[in-house]
Structure 1
């Protein structure tokens, strides 16, 4: 069986040396690149198109920016992040940026190898100590995004919402837009449901800032 190729990038030489020894000792894995994090290292690693990028993400967003660059250049790339903390928020940002694995630096050499194998096989790995919390946080993030998309206003909804915020009645909105009052009522009903508002005041308070009155210009 041909060895899987791995590119190692770290901010710290001592961690990079440890990863080289750990991955290099595995017959089924081959380190094709190792380097300290820099624009040149990123470019060289991506040119090699390894089966896996194993990145030292440290405790900041530096690694997250690199993940995003790799995903933009190589959408199918498999990425695992080697992190020095048990931070659920950091793990969520790393995985949301496009990584497939979040490995704690407190793990053993054997655990690192066990962690990257499911990533290489197309799966996801999260250090067991924090997996449950990270999965719950990711689900909450996806739910929030889905709700935001659901509440996104169409162009006509923005027109009507803008006029609502100006205090216009349904009849006045209809006259201003050159549509029927029945059509305005239809859109108003949809807006009430979308934002779970019980009256016009609650709706006006719940509307996003994108429905600014500056958008409320007549089409006539």
Structure 2
């Protein structure tokens, strides 16, 4: 039987070794390698020597942006997020960015292994404890959701939530400050926000600026 090759991306050595031990209990899995930051993970993906990426959200150069980058360049790559963050809106953003599964680090080993098997087989997996929270959060919400924003608008909101100003964001995107300012105004209209205070409060509620 061909083994499923896993790549573990996490900035904590003890976590990587612990995950390796859990995975090692199953004969169908093998750890192909490890990385501790986004740059190392990108290099590993370029070599294409594994079948599934087990990805932490909080490591350097990681987060939602890394998921988007990976999904854009390698659309078929199975990405299972394993994180200490249990906020439902963050799980939703990770899936929207391109993750194929989401599990919290305090989930049991059995749940993690089921998640790996599911994602490796081409399916999708959400931590069972977050499923209901995600569903009812969206049913109960009366405000516009981030999903209605374009990818660029969500990226601008993320940078603003992290404290970047218009000029810094413009330099990051290679656009003029005027263009970014117009895009900021557009996203605020879409979300029904009147000022920067409301913008930052909205961003915090929906998990922007955390990663």
Tell me the TM-score normalized by structure 2.
0.61
Q: How does 1:1-220 map onto structure 2 within 5 Å?
A: 1-58=1-58, 62-135=62-135
Q: Which moved more, 1:45-54 or 1:71-80?
A: 45-54
Shift of 1:93: 1.0
Per the alignment, residue 162 of structure 1 pairs with none
Contact 1:5 1:30 in 2 (8 A): yes
Q: Using CA pairs below 8 Å that are at least 6 residues apart, which structure has the higher relative contact order?
A: 2
Shift of 1:85: 2.3
Max Rg structure: 1
Contact 1:58 1:82 in 2 (8 A): no
Q: 1:39 to 1:138 in 2, by over 3 A?
A: farther
Contact 1:67 1:97 in 2 (8 A): yes
Q: 1:128 to 1:97 in 2, by over 3 A?
A: same
Contact 1:51 1:78 in 2 (8 A): yes
Q: 1:65 to 1:26 in 2, by over 3 A?
A: same
Q: Partners in 2 of 1:146 and 1:102 — Cα distance?
A: 18
**1:128-160 CA distances to partner (integer Å, 9 max, x unpaired)?**
1111222455788xx9689789xxxxxxxxxxx
Equivalences, count:
149
Contact 2:10 2:59 in 1 (8 A): no
Q: 1:46 to 1:53 in 2, by over 3 A?
A: farther
Partner-residue secondary structure (3-state), 1:107: coil
Q: 1:12 to 1:43 in 2, by over 3 A?
A: same
Contact 2:57 2:81 in 1 (8 A): yes
Contact 1:86 1:130 in 2 (8 A): yes
Q: Partners in 1 of 2:61 and 2:131 — Cα distance?
A: 20
Partner-residue secondary structure (3-state), 2:80: strand
Tell me the TM-score normalized by structure 1.
0.59
Contact 1:6 1:52 in 2 (8 A): yes
Partner-residue secondary structure (3-state), 2:82: strand
Please, which runs of 5 or more residues in structure 2 have no aligned partner? Answer: 151-188, 191-211
**1:15-51 CA distances to partner (integer Å, 9 max, x unpaired)?**
1111111112321111112121141332123312522
